[in-house]
């Protein structure tokens, strides 16, 4: 309230709200600057008049601070009034309030907070800029069920080689690599060096093993000195519905096929037989509980059934529940079918399937007859008999090798995938086909055939997995196989030209001039790879 309002109150014979305790005005006992009549005052601070009480405390009225008001003549202060004794002891600038309602030290506090914020921001900038590679993670689903497989796609843009990914350990789930691919996004050429920009994609499979929140930590990518990491991924995991759950539910989610087999099909009493219940399909990922074999234990052969470790394959999904069956009585029985259930999220209900029945024959062990034993010492064999036995064994071995030569060859190639002679034959055959090719062959077809031939040569020569390959991978494979860096550079150039042709065919850039002499250059390269001797022969070792 301003002094003008005080005079108005007095004129209306009403007590002023500025009157303090004991009817004393707040301005009594103060020493303040007396402005001229009707002079605008920017600020007036009235300190409270304090008096001592019995307990030694101070009391007084509130401070009053007004801004930009006019002092009337009746409210002028005395020019030189003596302050109250308590005022001299309590007058201090410390803690005085400003017109804004805060303290003068708040400006210093704000300035210090701003400085610390700038320092912390400067410290965080280098940490953010240290990520050289961009790693993106895409998930097909955000809400999954326990035991359901979900696909995760990790994309890393890079030039030339494929970055190495470090898959983290997922708590509450399993994750593995399904396949790898890449997609070219651009290509550059400086002199004789050709490089391509690609997006390398790695497909992971994630299977949740527990309900709740599933957090996938960042996936780290490394390419030389460059590193990068993805953002963490969070999925919501729920258990399969309880309503309508059949007794044969083993935890699987998805479609599946069930079958059973026993090996061997005929055993003696007390001899072990291996009984397998095989599950094929996406439902096998979540089936972690073995089926119940109560009907099997009630058969007439009185079998003893023991569980063995499961046989699992992630891709393609397959799981085999293995049991050891030991019959204690002779007879012929059929191992009864076993019902297995899984939840199919596509139709939103449980699906039950049964295995096939498996016949098992158990024969009795012949009784021991001691009288039928011959205790005479055996006569030594003659030399003629030994030669006959050796010749017969040799003939049998040769016949077996000849009969199963194809199967043995497949087993040999499976155990030793690198077949350098086959790689040479493939190179010569490819060169012959390119020599017979017509000039009217489309560039896109020629480029595709050339890339397929290079990939097959790399698989036969250095054991590279089949699939698309970059120019750097082609150069590395050909250089390792032939021992010639020159042939490696030629292979990289041909692969780069094929990429440009295929990239241009999809309408994303490039030009048709890359197809000039492609077939002839590819034929010359494969002719050189198919020849032996010299440095090429030393590279093959």
pLDDT tens column, 255-311: 999 999 999 999 999 899 999 999 999 999 999 889 988 888 889 999 999 999 999
**Rounded-to-integer distance, Cα 203 and Cα 80, Å:** 90
Could you write out the three-class secondary structure of 94-128?
A: CCCCCCCCCCCCHHHHHHHHHHHHHHHHHHHHHHH
- Are residues 340 and 354 in contact, defined by beta-carbon separation less than 8 angstroms? yes
Reply yes or no on whether the pLDDT at 393 is more than 50. Answer: yes
Which pLDDT value is given to residue 394?
A: 84
> How high does pLDDT run on average in the chain?
75
- Asked if the model's pLDDT at residue 361 lies above 50, the reply is yes
Whole-number Å distance between alpha carbons of 261 and 278: 8
pLDDT band per the 50, 70, 90 thresholds, residue 249: very high
Structure confidence at residue 467 (pLDDT):
78
Average pLDDT over residues 180-192: 78
pLDDT in tens, 458-477: 888 887 777 778 888 888 88
Q: Which residues of 110-136 are buried (b: 16+ CB within 10 A; e: fewer)?
A: eeeeeeeeeeeeeeeeeeeeeeebebe
Burial class (CB in 10 A: 0-12, 13-18, 19+), 79: exposed
* 468 or 127: which leads in pLDDT: 468
Name the least confident of 59-63, 413-417, 432-436.
59-63
Between residues 109 and 430, the one the model is more confident about: 430
- In angstroms, rounded to a whole number, what is the distance separating the alpha carbons of residues 102 and 104? 7
- Residue 409 has a pLDDT of 67
224-235 pLDDT per residue, tens: 889 999 999 999
> What is the pLDDT at residue 539?
39
Torsion of CA 504, 509, 515, 521, to 10 degrees: -100
């Amino acid at each position: 309230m301003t002094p003008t309002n005080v005079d108005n109150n007095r004129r209306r014979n009403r007590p002023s709200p500025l009157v303090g305790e004991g009817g004393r005005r707040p301005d009594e006992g103060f020493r303040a600057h007396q402005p001229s009549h009707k002079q605008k005052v920017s600020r007036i601070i009235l300190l409270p008049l304090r008096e001592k009480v019995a307990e030694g405390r101070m009391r007084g009225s509130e401070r009053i601070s007004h801004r930009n008001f006019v002092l009337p003549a009746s409210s002028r202060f005395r020019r030189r009034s003596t302050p109250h004794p308590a005022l001299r002891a309590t007058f201090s600038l410390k803690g005085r309030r400003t017109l804004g309602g805060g303290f003068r030290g708040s400006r210093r506090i704000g300035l210090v907070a701003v400085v610390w914020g700038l320092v912390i921001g400067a410290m965080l900038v280098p940490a953010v800029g240290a990520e050289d590679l961009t790693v993106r993670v895409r998930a097909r689903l955000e809400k999954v069920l326990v035991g359901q497989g979900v696909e995760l796609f990790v994309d890393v843009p890079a030039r030339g080689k494929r970055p190495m990914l470090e898959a983290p350990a997922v708590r509450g789930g399993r994750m593995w690599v399904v396949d790898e691919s890449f997609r070219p996004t651009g290509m550059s050429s400086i002199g004789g060096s050709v490089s391509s920009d690609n997006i390398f994609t790695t497909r992971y499979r994630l299977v949740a093993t527990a309900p709740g929140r599933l957090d996938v930590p960042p996936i780290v990518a490394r390419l030389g000195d460059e590193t990068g990491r993805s953002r963490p991924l969070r999925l919501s995991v729920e258990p399969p519905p309880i309503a309508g759950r059949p007794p044969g539910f083993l935890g699987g989610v998805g479609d599946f096929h069930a079958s059973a087999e026993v090996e061997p099909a005929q055993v003696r009493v007390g001899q072990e037989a291996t009984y397998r219940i095989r599950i094929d399909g996406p439902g096998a990922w979540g089936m972690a509980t073995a089926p119940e074999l109560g009907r099997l234990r009630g058969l007439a052969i009185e079998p003893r059934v023991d569980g063995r470790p499961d046989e699992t394959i992630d891709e393609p999904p397959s799981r085999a529940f293995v049991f050891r069956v030991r019959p204690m009585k002779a007879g012929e029985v059929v191992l009864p079918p076993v019902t297995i259930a899984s939840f199919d999220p596509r139709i939103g209900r449980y699906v039950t399937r049964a295995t096939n029945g498996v016949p098992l024959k158990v024969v009795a062990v012949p009784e021991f007859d001691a009288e039928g034993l011959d205790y005479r010492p055996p006569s030594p064999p003659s030399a003629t008999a030994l030669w006959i036995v050796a010749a017969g064994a040799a003939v049998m071995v040769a016949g077996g090798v000849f009969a199963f030569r194809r199967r043995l060859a497949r087993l040999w190639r499976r155990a030793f995938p690198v077949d350098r002679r086959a790689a040479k034959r493939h190179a010569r055959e490819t060169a012959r086909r390119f020599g017979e090719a017509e000039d009217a062959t489309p560039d896109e077809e020629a480029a595709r055939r050339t890339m397929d031939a290079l990939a097959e040569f790399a698989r036969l020569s250095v054991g590279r997995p089949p699939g698309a390959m970059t120019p750097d991978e082609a150069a590395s494979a050909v250089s390792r196989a032939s021992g010639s860096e020159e042939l490696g550079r030629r292979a990289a150039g041909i692969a780069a030209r094929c990429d440009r042709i295929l990239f241009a065919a999809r309408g994303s850039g490039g030009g048709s001039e890359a197809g000039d002499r492609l077939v002839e250059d590819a034929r010359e390269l494969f002719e050189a790879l198919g020849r032996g001797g010299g440095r090429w022969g030393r590279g093959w070792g």
